[in-house]
């Protein structure tokens, strides 16, 4: 109960960070996905079930707050699949090693890449934009940038738990 309350509070806090600080981190038009980093963290810390559910709820709130009429459910779908995928990195016995090591970065990158592939597969349906071009132009840089940003929590964990 206590852990769930803290997770909910952190999620709300990250929504605010997503709204206010992430636009300042935008490189050209590549936006890091800090909420996905949080979903991967939840997956490693609390398992596939929690990360899938959290992915769905976070995605749904993102969809609803975007105010769009055409793509409601897209972020919910991609983030719940992302959460499910990230759940494969869950290992109860090596939780802290994963969070404080390169595995966390790999988990964020792989999850983000899969998330973006699924996102663009649906989002670009019926549009004139090329899937491959968009994938190279957005999906890969976004995943790299998100993974780069995941270095920050990784270093915090490595200082806190490994030393």
Partner 1 sequence: MRRLLDTALTYKEYLLLTVCVLLSIFLLAAQDSPQIRRIRSITVVSIGFLQDAFGFVPNYFDLREENRVLREQNVTLSEELSRLREAAMENARLRKMLELKEVGRYEYVSANVVGKNFQLLRNAITIDVGDEEGVAANMPVITHAGLVGKIMVTSSRYAVAQTLFHTEMRTSAKVQRGRADGILVWEGGASLKLKNVAKTLDVQVGDEVVTSEYSSIFPPGIPIGVVSKTHEITGDLFQTIEVTPRADLYRLEEVFVVTQVPDTSRVAVEQRASQ
Q: Which residues bind to partner 1, rule: CB under 8 A?
A: 12, 15-16, 19-24, 26, 28-29, 31, 48-49, 52-53, 55-56, 59-77, 80-81, 84, 87, 116, 119-120, 122-123, 127-129, 134, 137-139, 142
Partners of 30 in beta bridges:
27
Q: How far apart are CA 17 and CA 19, in angstroms?
A: 5
From the CB of 82, what's the least distance to partner 1, in Å?
A: 11
From the CB of 95, what's the least distance to partner 1, in Å?
A: 17
Distances (CA, A) of 22 to 93, 132, 136: 33, 26, 21
Residue number, 56 or 104, with CB nearest to partner 1: 56
Q: How far apart are CA 62 and CA 104, in angstroms?
A: 24
Contact indicator for 135, 118 with CB cutoff of 8 Å: no
From the CB of 91, what's the least distance to partner 1, in Å?
A: 15
């Amino acid at each position: 109960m206590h852990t769930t309350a803290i997770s909910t509070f952190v999620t709300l806090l990250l929504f605010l960070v997503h709204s206010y600080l992430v636009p300042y981190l935008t490189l050209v038009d590549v936006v890091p996905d800090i909420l996905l980093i949080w979903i991967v963290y939840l997956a490693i810390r609390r398992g596939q079930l929690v990360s899938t559910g959290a992915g769905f709820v976070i995605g749904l709130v993102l969809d609803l707050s975007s105010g769009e009429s055409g793509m409601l459910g897209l972020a919910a779908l991609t983030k719940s699949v992302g959460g499910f995928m990230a759940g494969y990195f869950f290992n109860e016995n090596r939780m802290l090693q994963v969070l404080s090591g390169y595995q966390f970065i790999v988990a964020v990158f792989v999850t983000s890449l899969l998330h973006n592939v699924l996102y663009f597969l649906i989002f670009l349906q019926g549009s004139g934009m090329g899937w491959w071009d968009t994938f190279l132009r957005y999906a890969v840089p976004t995943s790299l940038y998100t993974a780069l940003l995941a270095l920050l929590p990784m270093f915090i964990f490595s200082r806190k738990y490994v030393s």
